């Protein structure tokens, strides 16, 4: 069995912070200098045993939620066991810029400004470093596709909460890049909820005409036909306090999918809240969803 590292170009750019054997594969944590963000960024990359044996494998990208880092899902969700069984690599980027010294950055995380929200801010002072969409789509993913043993055309995207918003919006804003998409407890209509309104006001300004371009329900409603005809999977806990507070609004995304004929499996689960016990319960189903769709994408 071999244990491939990134090639020389990536090795020079990616600092290896930690490496752990996991279910026959390897879990690595990296840091690199981001040109898009203008600050160091961290990410976690899991390579399953199939990749260590020389195969090129599909990739599933996970976008975490508010207050999380590249470590949160990686450590708490227990995803590596199923990823190893299915032969999936996992990429877990950090959620946000760190250490920008923007006034109010740390104090603002409770409502979204300060967290990355997986978009490019256009309003100062956030516009200098808060470029998470460009970072992910134009920098991190191309590097990972290029330098890790992956099949670029077999890439899936999922996330939780703010990361569920990111997964749905980025999948819709970048057609053809991801062959599968799913979400856990996503913020489905940020133009209609307090979290989204505060974040969009801070990052994009008060002109609400530009906000729908980053709202999954609005983006879906604008589709001429179903962008993911094999289906999208969304899971939502019914004991989620943020659901009760009208922050998540899955019914808006459900209606938008119905309007354009997009197949959607929206599962509602009694007794589950917004946290990682729910994510750990559902992660196997989501990885199987991606594995099935990514296997078809190779046909």
Where in the sequence numbering do the catalytic residues fall? 161, 240, 274
CA pair distance 147, 267, nearest whole angstrom: 36
Distance, in Å, from the CA atom of 42 to the CA atom of 30, rounded to the nearest integer, reads 6
Instruction: Confirm if 87 and 118 have CB atoms less than 8 A apart.
Output: no
Report the distance separating Cα 42 and Cα 17, nearest Å.
Answer: 9
């Amino acid at each position: 069995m071999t244990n491939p590292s990134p090639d020389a170009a990536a090795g020079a750019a990616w600092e290896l912070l930690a490496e752990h054997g996991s279910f026959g594969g390897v879990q690595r944590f990296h840091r690199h200098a981001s040109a898009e963000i203008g600050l160091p960024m961290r990410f976690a990359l899991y390579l399953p045993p199939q990749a260590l044996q020389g195969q090129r494998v599909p990739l599933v990208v996970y976008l975490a939620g508010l207050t999380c880092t590249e470590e949160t899902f990686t450590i708490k969700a227990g995803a590596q066991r199923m990823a190893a069984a299915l032969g999936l690599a996992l990429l877990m980027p950090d959620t946000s810029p760190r250490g920008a010294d923007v006034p109010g950055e740390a104090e603002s995380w409770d409502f979204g400004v300060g967290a990355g929200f997986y978009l490019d801010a256009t309003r100062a002072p956030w516009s200098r470093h808060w470029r998470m969409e460009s970072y992910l789509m134009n920098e991190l993913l191309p590097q990972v596709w290029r330098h890790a043993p992956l099949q670029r055309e077999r890439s899936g995207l999922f996330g939780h909460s703010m990361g569920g918003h990111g997964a749905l919006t980025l999948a819709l804003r970048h057609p053809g890049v991801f062959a599968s998409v799913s979400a856990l407890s996503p913020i489905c209509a940020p133009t209609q909820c307090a979290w989204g309104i505060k974040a969009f006001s801070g990052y994009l300004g008060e002109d609400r005409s530009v906000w729908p371009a980053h709202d999954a329900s609005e983006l879906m409603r604008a589709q001429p036909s179903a962008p993911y005809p094999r289906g999208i999977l969304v899971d939502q806990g019914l004991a989620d306090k943020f659901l009760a507070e009208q922050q998540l609004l899955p019914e808006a995304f459900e209606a938008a999918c119905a309007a354009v004929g997009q197949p959607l499996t929206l599962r509602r689960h009694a007794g589950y809240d917004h946290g990682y016990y729910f994510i750990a319960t559902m992660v196997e189903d989501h990885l199987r969803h991606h594995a099935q769709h990514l296997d078809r994408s190779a046909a």
